[in-house]
Amino acid sequence: MPVMDNHTHLDFPDAELLVGVKDALDAAAAVGVQGAVQVGCDLESSRFTVKAVELDSRLLGAVALHPNDAPGYARRGGLEEALAEIEALAAHPRVRAIGETGLDFFRTEGEGLAHQRYSFRRHIDIAKRLGLTLQIHDRDAHDDVVQVLREEGAPERVVFHCFSGDEALARTCNAEGWYMSFAGTVTFKNAADLRSALAIAEPDRILVETDAPFLTPHPHRGRPNASYMVPYTVRAMADVTGSELSELCAQIAANTVRAYGSWD
């Protein structure tokens, strides 16, 4: 049952070691996870992303300054230069998304929030001008993310990575045609609101991801996450949506190609 992990960080070492790109993708392929989107969070990891997509055809890329990293660039006076490099890296034909960008009210506060908003607006602009998908990081900031998207005018394709909303946000995404990407969090015991959101999400807007090495699905919480763990998440998603697992995977694979273009 082929499916794709549309948000992973292959450059972040897991607990003990950095697993090679090919090894990580081989392990994923062995359980039917045919492709992944490697996501950059700062200049270094966005440069890594471009190298990685050239190394292995099972990868597409996303590049951006993470909402928790953008304030640091701004404080050092390097935000404009960094955004210019992100735009240059995004010109690579296998980079299909600007992300992860967005708002994070959990880890950033004070003056950093103004930089975060500014950076989010600039990333939206880059995605629109380059015709790329926008991959959003939204932590404790649902209403503000939606507001900024509406003020700026959302790009044609928007993905809420590690969707963490409730039914209200799922309804907004359904109405706007925005993709909701579910991570291992949907398997957590305390995630009833998230499962209610998934239950009403339009089937053609659902994606799956790991956000590896973070957010390992149940029953392996505490261990580093990786793309080969996607089956635990899609099985939980099939339970919630009452779908046949193979049909859900086919739907997600089709949605993923619609959201990012073909891996071929």
Minimum separation from the CB atom of position 53 to Zn ion (A): 16
- Of the pair 90, 243, the CB lying nearest Zn ion is at 90
Q: How far apart are CA 87 and CA 98, in angstroms?
A: 9
Minimum separation from the CB atom of position 246 to Zn ion (A): 28
Q: DSSP for 157-224, please give it.
A: -EEEET----HHHHHHHHHHT-EEEE-GGGGSTT-HHHHHHHHHS-GGGEEE---BTS-PPTTSTTSP
Residues that bind Zn ion (CB under 5 A): 100, 137, 211
- Of the pair 95, 243, the CB lying nearest Zn ion is at 95
Contacts of 192 (CB under 8 A, 6+ apart): none
- Which amino acid is present at 164? S
- Of the pair 136, 243, the CB lying nearest Zn ion is at 136
For Zn ion, the nearest residue by Cβ is 137
Instruction: Copy the structure tokens of residue 110.
Output: 């004070």
- Which amino acid is present at 117? R
Minimum separation from the CB atom of position 46 to Zn ion (A): 13
Query: Which pairs from 189-193 meet CB under 8 Å and 24+ separation?
Result: 189/218, 193/166, 193/167
- Of the pair 159, 252, the CB lying nearest Zn ion is at 159
Minimum separation from the CB atom of position 120 to Zn ion (A): 13
Minimum separation from the CB atom of position 211 to Zn ion (A): 5
Residue 113, SS3 per DSSP: helix
Minimum separation from the CB atom of position 156 to Zn ion (A): 21
Q: How far apart are CA 70 and CA 112, in angstroms?
A: 8
